[in-house]
Structure formats: C-alpha cells, structure tokens
Structure 1
Amino acid sequence: MSRFKLYIEYIGTRYSGWQMQKNSRSIQGKLYEAAKKVFDGEKLEIYGSGRTDAGVHALCQIAHLDVKTMLAPEVIRMKLNDELPGDINIIEVEKTNKDFHARHDAVSRSYIYQISRRRTAFGKQFVWWIKDKLDFEKMKKASKLFVGMHDFASFSDDDPEEKSTKVLIENVEIKEEGDLILIRITGSHFLWKMVRRIIGVLVEVGKGKLTENDIKKYLSENSNEPSRFTAPPSGLFLENVFYEHGKVSKELSALINIKSFKGKK
C-alpha cells in the first residue's frame, strides 16, 4: 500500500461539501468513485485536510490517497482527472511517506472571501453581492479583533467532531480591488460555518449595523446573533493548507477577472 498526496481544486456549487455523505453529492465521494475506476477494485482510502461546507470552493484542498499501485504520480493525476467532472481537478499528485496525514499534520489553513459591491453576470457563483454601501475602513479595523486565540462558540453551530471552540487566528487581511472587497483569514483550523459568520459580522459592521463592541461581546460570551449574519458559501474559497515545511505567503488578489469589476455599477 502506497500513500499519495493530492492537491485538488474545485467549484463547490453543485456539491454538499467535501465530506462523503449518504444520498448527496460530495467532492470526496466523486474522488472515491474516480479512484475506484482507475485502480479497478483495489482497496483504497481517501482522507482530506478538513471539511468545506456545501457550496464552498477550494483553490487547493489537500488529501492523501492510500492504494496499492505501481502507477507513477503523474499518471495517477491524469487518470483521475479523466474520470472526474469538469468542476473538480487534481492539480498535482506526489508520493509521500506513510506517516503523512492530510488533516492531522496540517498546521494552519487560509480562506479567501470575495464580496462584490455590484451585480455581476459572470462571477455570481464566486461572490456575495451586497447592495448596501459598505464602510471599508470600519471593516478593516474591526477585522483585527479576530486575530489571536479566541473562543468562537458564537460563530459556529454545535459540532460533535470538535472538542473545543477555541481557535488561533494568525492573520486577517482585507483589501479593495475595483468593486470587490477581498478578505483572507488564516488560522490553526476553522469550526463549522465559522469563516462565513466572521464575514457576515464584518459586513454588518460595514453597513453600520454592528460595532467593534458587538464583536468583543460575541468573542467573550456565547451568543446566537452571529448565526443571523452567516454569509453565503458562494464567495468562500479554501485557499491553502499549510504543513510544517513549505508554507508560503502570497499577495491577496481577486480570484475572478478583476477587469470586469472596474466598470460602471
């Protein structure tokens, strides 16, 4: 049995999320179906670095594949891609040691969220269009309150797979590009719906409906209020999963054609 590390990108619009579930279409499920065809009945296992919610996209999800095969990594990549639908793509396959675990060995993860301040015909499935005027500077200032170790119980639903609701947020970056507002959040891990609720709360700050004091309250005591502001999954992308070696920082930039967002509103 050999272990391979998979680098995967996908559009999450048509899927119930990463994790395989009964009677629903998932990214992990599609990969498993493709691998069963490629390896023709061989016993195999596929584990991801973590879940993504229904409708959420990935620029680089990491998974590991256990299977008995003599195929080279590049051949595995091509054969899997031949069996996968067009909205899931294996970027790279590399052989790794048997001790590597896509989830347990990850030290941090980053997500990017795209907010559009105008209606778009082409990027609808990749942004959250907000009609209200947003105060970018207020959002940027408030975003720094999330940095550090905090209890994010107010920003997640109950999840039996999570033993603790404390999460270390390493950095929050926010910038403007044309009519887009881009937000990158990097942290040790993320709870169910946590990123989308952070985004939703920041948007309410931008609208002038919430203040920095509200955020401090949500982080210091358990509240159901952030659930009302959960951002849609369309604008959210799992950007990267970082391991002990090979962590890189990149400039925060738009994921869709920025030229189309520089015209008239």
Structure 2
Amino acid sequence: MSSSRRYFIEFAYDGTNYHGWQKQPDAITVQERLEEGLKLLLKQPVLTTGAGRTDTGVHAKQMFAHFDLEKPAQIENIVYRLNRWLPEDISVFNLYEVGSEDHARFDAISRSYEYHIHLRPDPFFNKNSYILYRKPDFGLMQEAADQLLGTKNFKCFSRSKTQVKTYNCTVTEARFQIDDHHVIFHITADRFLRNMVRAVMGTLLEIGYGKKMVEDLDHIIKSQDRNQAGPSAPGQGLYLTKIVYPDRVPLHS
C-alpha cells in the first residue's frame, strides 16, 4: 500500500521569459523551474501535473498543479522557501494536501481567461498586453462574442494536429470590459482547446476591423476549419485567471 501524499500547489507567473508551462527539450518552461525548486527543497524528484498548458509568452494569474511525495519531507514553510528560490516572475501562493485521486487537470470544472488589449503605448502594459494602434468596433466584437456562448464544436479555433477526444466546449462567459484605453476580454468555459482563446481573439479582431462580418462567426464555427478563422492574437495579452474545482477537492488553508 502506497504511503505517498498528494498536494495541489497554487501559483502564478509572468510568461514573458518562458516557452509556456509544459516541459520541453531545449526550452525554459515554468514547469521545469517549479520542479527544479521542489526537487532541491524537498530532496527528492518531484513530477508535477498542471491544470492545463499555456503557450509561449502566456501568463497565469492563477494556476494549479499536483504532485505526489513518496518519501516524508519537510513540507512546512515550503511556500516561503520556494518563493525565496524561484525567479521573481513565478510566485507560489498556497500548498494543499488533497486526496490521492484528486487531479489538477481532470477535476477542474471551469477555467477563465482574460485577453488584455491597450489602445495607446503605455510602459505598464507594452510587454504584457496587445497594443492596437487603430481602435476596432468593440460593439461588433461583442455581438460576435455572444455567439460563442453554449456548447459547441470549436475545432475551428484549435491548433491543428491536436489530439483530443472531443472539440466540444461549453462557454459560459464571453464579454468585453472597456476602461478608457485598456480593454479586457473575459472568457470562461469548462475546457479550452490549444490556442483557442488566441484564435477567438484574432477572429473577433477581424470582425472589429471589418474584415469579417458578425454573422460570419457562426459559419466559421460550423466549418470546423482553422483556416476559416482569423490569425492567433499574440500570446503576451493572454492570462489564465481562474480555475474552479468541485467542493470535494479540499482547497482551503
């Protein structure tokens, strides 16, 4: 009988200097840095499983991963110790001991993203938001975004050659928040496909600039063809902001 213990770790990162969350050869990733710190401080190999993956340059205001410890370890103060060790663009918030079957990816019931746009040069946004030098019609973009709500096949917004069992996602929120020169697109769903939010944003921007019509979005979704949708918006404007788990997963201090 295994005596291992499973933990959920909650953290955030600025993805500017990383090739996404997931480990890959010959590239620096957030997962690699986190596992290096855990291994050093807990004095045993640690393999993490993230709640999802983010692409190169994409940020996370809230991310979860789980890992198992096979040997007893000094877990006290690990959040403080990790934050002392990790680079300043990765921060750990909490560590929770959970059940052995709780899973950071498969147990998540919703995920929320924000896509940040700014409409004039700004030293506080230039690196972590997408600058538009010409203002699109956000009214038209919201009309189109309303068509995303519900359960649909979103293959048209998925990166090609992605192996998934289904392209269906249930979108429960898709709205623009406009605050002077700063615009945030909020989108929430039970799951997202690879590159989905960036492809959605790129398509909405084409509608906002008159390159596509609002009614085109329905045809694009039904086509299930990535080539019919717009180009992907840049990664630096995208933030994973919230992951929700069922109450049975004990995420409390």
- Per the TM alignment, residue 86 of structure 1 is displaced from its structure 2 partner at its CA by 0.8
Tell whether 2:15 aligns with 1:28. no
Tell whether 2:249 aligns with 1:239. no
Structure-2 residue corresponding to 1:92: 94
User: What is the number of residues matched between the two proteins?
Assistant: 245
> Normalization by structure 1: what TM-score?
0.87
Contact 1:196 1:231 in 2 (8 A): yes
Structure-1 residue corresponding to 2:53: 51
Contact 2:220 2:229 in 1 (8 A): no
The 2-side partners of 1:85 and 1:189 are apart by: 29
Match of 2:141 among 121, 139, 142: 139
Contact 2:155 2:226 in 1 (8 A): no
The 1-side partners of 2:128 and 2:108 are apart by: 26
1:1-265 to structure 2, matched below 5 A, reads: 1-40=4-43, 42-67=44-69, 68-73=71-76, 75-225=77-227, 228-245=230-247
Contact 1:112 1:239 in 2 (8 A): yes
- Per the TM alignment, residue 171 of structure 1 is displaced from its structure 2 partner at its CA by 1.3
The 1-side partners of 2:95 and 2:205 are apart by: 38
The 1-side partners of 2:13 and 2:232 are apart by: 22
Contact 1:18 1:26 in 2 (8 A): yes
- Per the TM alignment, residue 226 of structure 1 is displaced from its structure 2 partner at its CA by 5.2
Superimposed CA distance per residue, residues 20-73 of structure 1 (whole angstroms, 9 cap, x where no aligned partner): 111111111101111111012x24221110101111000000111211334345
The 1-side partners of 2:82 and 2:242 are apart by: 21
1:134 match: secondary structure: coil
After TM superposition, the runs of 4+ consecutive aligned structure 1 residues lying more than 3 A away are 224-228
The 1-side partners of 2:41 and 2:161 are apart by: 34
The two structures, once aligned, show a CA RMSD in angstroms of 1.7
Contact 1:200 1:226 in 2 (8 A): no
Structure-2 residue corresponding to 1:250: none
The 1-side partners of 2:16 and 2:72 are apart by: 32
The 1-side partners of 2:129 and 2:65 are apart by: 26
